[in-house]
Amino acid sequence: MQVVICGLTIPIVLRSEKALKNDLGLFDSEKEQIELLRRMDIKIRRKTLIHECFHAFLFITGYNELLQDISPNAEEAMTRAFEQAFNDLFVFDDDVERWIRGDI
Ligand SMILES: [Zn+2]
């Protein structure tokens, strides 16, 4: 699966707990890909994907650099706030929503 953020296609790769070091997901800025835990509740998968999409957005736009100047924790705090505030408003295309539900 993949998402398009600011015109950039970002692959989504499913990984094991071991590979993610017990995290639910991450945005790998070197590979420009999102990695998600393979086995996850659907609601948590969706929320985690939103979270990682926001990290990708901050990287693509360069805002991650500005946030780094504020504090090493600023990006994560802003990303969590975004994830909480916009979870129900965030829209993925139908293919991604079906993929999140495990239908494809
Ligand atoms: Zn994060």
- pLDDT digit string (tens) for 29-85? 999 999 999 999 999 999 999 999 999 999 999 999 999 999 999 999 999 999 999
Distance (angstroms) between ligand 1 centre and the Cα of 56 equals: 10
Between the CA of 96 and the centroid of ligand 1 the distance, in Å, is 20
Could you tell me the distance, in angstroms and rounded to a whole number, from the CA of residue 94 to the centre of ligand 1?
24
Task: Please name the amino acid found at residue 29.
Answer: S
Q: Within 1-104, where are the H helices?
A: 42-61, 63-70, 74-86, 94-101
Alpha carbon separation from 3 to 20, 54, 65, 85, 91 (Å, rounded): 20, 12, 22, 20, 11
This model's pTM is above 0.85: yes
Three-state secondary-structure class, residue 50: helix
Domain ranges of the chain: 2-101
CATH class of the region 2-101: mainly alpha
84 Cα to the center of ligand 1, angstroms? 12
